[in-house]
Structure 1
Amino acid sequence: MNAPVIVVGLNTTANSAAAAEWAAEEGVSRGATVCLVHIQEPRRGIAPEGRRTDAEAVLSNAADGLCARHAGLTVTTRLMTGSPAARLVRAAGEGDLLVLGSRALGDIAGFLLGSVLLTVVGRVERPLVVVRAPGVGRNLRTVLIGLNLREPYDPALAFGFETAARHQQDVHLVYAEERRLPVPAGIGGPAGRTPVAPELQHLLDEHLAAWRSRYPEVKITGWVAEGSPTVELLRAASSADLVVVGKHTRRPARGAHIGRLTHTLLRHSPAPVAIVPHG
Structure 2
Amino acid sequence: MKSWVRNGPVVVEVDGTAEGMRVVDYACVEALRSGADLVLAASYRAHSTFSPMRPTELPKPPGDLADAALRVAAAHVRHRYGYGLQLEAVSKDGSRARVLAEIAPHARMLIIGRTPKRGPQRLVAAQTNLNLAARVGCPVLVVPLSWRPSQVDRKVAVGIDGSGQSAEAVEFAFRAAAAREGDLIVVRAGLPPDHAFNDDDVEHSWISRADHTISEAVAAWTSEFPQVRLTRFLSGRPAAEAILHESEDVGLIVVGAHGSVPATDPVARRCVAAMPCPVAIVPHHLTVVERERLLEPRRPDIVTPMY
Letter in 2 for 1:168: E
Distance 1:176 1:19, change over 3 A: same
Contact 2:133 2:282 (C-alpha < 8 Å) held by counterparts: no
Pairing 1:1-279 to 2, within 5 Å after superposition: 4-46=8-50, 50-71=61-82, 72-106=84-118, 113=125, 116-140=128-152, 141-151=154-164, 153-179=166-192, 180-181=194-195, 185=200, 196-207=206-217, 210-248=220-258, 250-251=260-261, 257-278=263-284, 279=286
Distance in 2 between residues matched to 1:212 and 1:118, nearest whole Å: 29
Distance in 1 between residues matched to 2:119 and 2:147, nearest whole Å: 16
Contact 1:5 1:96 (C-alpha < 8 Å) held by counterparts: yes
Distance 1:203 1:108, change over 3 A: closer
How much does 1:84 deviate? 1.2
Q: Give the TM-score, by structure 2 length.
A: 0.77
How much does 1:268 deviate? 0.9
Structure 1 or 2, whichever has the larger Rg, is 2
Greater helix fraction, Structure 1 or Structure 2 = 2
Distance 1:51 1:197, change over 3 A: closer
SS in 1 for 2:206: coil
**Number of residue pairs matched by the alignment:** 267
Larger CA deviation: 199-208 vs 15-24: 199-208
Distance in 2 between residues matched to 1:151 and 1:226, nearest whole Å: 21
Between the aligned residues of both structures, percent identity stands at: 24
Distance 1:213 1:152, change over 3 A: farther
Residue by residue over 1:103-141, the C-alpha shift from the partner in whole angstroms, topping out at 9 and shown as x without a partner, is 1232999xx956653431342211110101223313312
Structure 1 gaps of 5+ residues are 190-194
Contact 1:171 1:219 (C-alpha < 8 Å) held by counterparts: yes
How much does 1:54 deviate? 2.6
Contact 1:237 1:271 (C-alpha < 8 Å) held by counterparts: yes
Distance in 1 between residues matched to 2:59 and 2:131, nearest whole Å: 26
Contact 1:39 1:84 (C-alpha < 8 Å) held by counterparts: yes
Distance 1:208 1:7, change over 3 A: closer
Distance in 2 between residues matched to 1:39 and 1:231, nearest whole Å: 35
Distance 1:258 1:37, change over 3 A: farther
Residue by residue over 1:153-193, the C-alpha shift from the partner in whole angstroms, topping out at 9 and shown as x without a partner, is 3221111111111111100000112424476638979xxxx
Contact 1:144 1:174 (C-alpha < 8 Å) held by counterparts: yes
Contact 1:127 1:276 (C-alpha < 8 Å) held by counterparts: yes
Letter in 2 for 1:6: V
Distance in 1 between residues matched to 2:45 and 2:125, nearest whole Å: 15
Residue by residue over 1:20-73, the C-alpha shift from the partner in whole angstroms, topping out at 9 and shown as x without a partner, is 111100101111111111111233454786433332121011012112212411
Root-mean-square deviation (CA), in Å? Answer: 3.0
Contact 1:4 1:95 (C-alpha < 8 Å) held by counterparts: yes
Distance in 2 between residues matched to 1:88 and 1:232, nearest whole Å: 31
How much does 1:217 deviate? 0.8
How much does 1:216 deviate? 1.2
SS in 1 for 2:12: strand
Letter in 2 for 1:242: L
Contact 1:28 1:70 (C-alpha < 8 Å) held by counterparts: no
Distance in 2 between residues matched to 1:67 and 1:275, nearest whole Å: 28
Contact 2:253 2:277 (C-alpha < 8 Å) held by counterparts: yes
Letter in 1 for 2:135: R
Structure 2 gaps of 5+ residues are 1-5, 51-57, 287-307
Distance in 2 between residues matched to 1:208 and 1:45, nearest whole Å: 53
Distance 1:3 1:64, change over 3 A: farther
